Amino acid sequence: MSESKNIRKSHNVSVLLYHFECPVKYHRLVFDKTIDQTLVRICIEIKKRFEVHFLEIGTDKDHVHFLLQSVPIKSPTQIVKMLKSITAREIFQRHPEVKQVL
């Protein structure tokens, strides 16, 4: 998606990269091309609202990989909670058939 760069704030400069792997509940096979595209659109919306820059988003049938950059104000736990809750809620709303598989 993009490359990492320094994030400049008023009192610091940071380059924090995180790699998260999020499995689907019960490792169900839910990801296909349409859900992948929806996930990317959701992540673009997240990028606009929060200070999270997605460098790569990769999916397999039963899990998602995120390589992202953020500011040191947010802990990795906060970032994962935010990512998982927003993406799950939006995917369930846009693709109700996924909820049936789980």
| Local confidence pLDDT in tens for the 102 residues of the chain | 667 677 777 767 778 899 999 999 888 898 999 999 999 999 999 999 988 999 999 999 899 999 999 888 889 999 999 999 999 999 999 999 998 888
Cα separation, 86 vs 42, in Å, equals 8
Residue 102 lies in a domain: no
- At residue 15, the pLDDT reads 80
Residue 6 · residue 50 · CB < 8 Å:
no
Q: Are 92 and 98 in contact (CB under 8 A)?
A: yes
Number of domains the chain contains: 1
Q: 25 in a domain, yes or no?
A: yes
Assess if residue 39 is contained within a domain.
yes
**Residue 11 lies in domain:** 7-97
Whether 72 is covered by a domain: the verdict is: yes
Is 26 contained in some domain? yes
pLDDT at position 2: 65
31 occurs within a structural domain = yes
Residue-level pLDDT at 8: 72
pTM for the whole structure: 0.84
The answer to whether residue 2 sits within a structural domain is no
> How far apart are alpha carbons 53 and 69 in whole angstroms?
5
The CATH number assigned to the domain holding 37 equals 3.30.70.1290
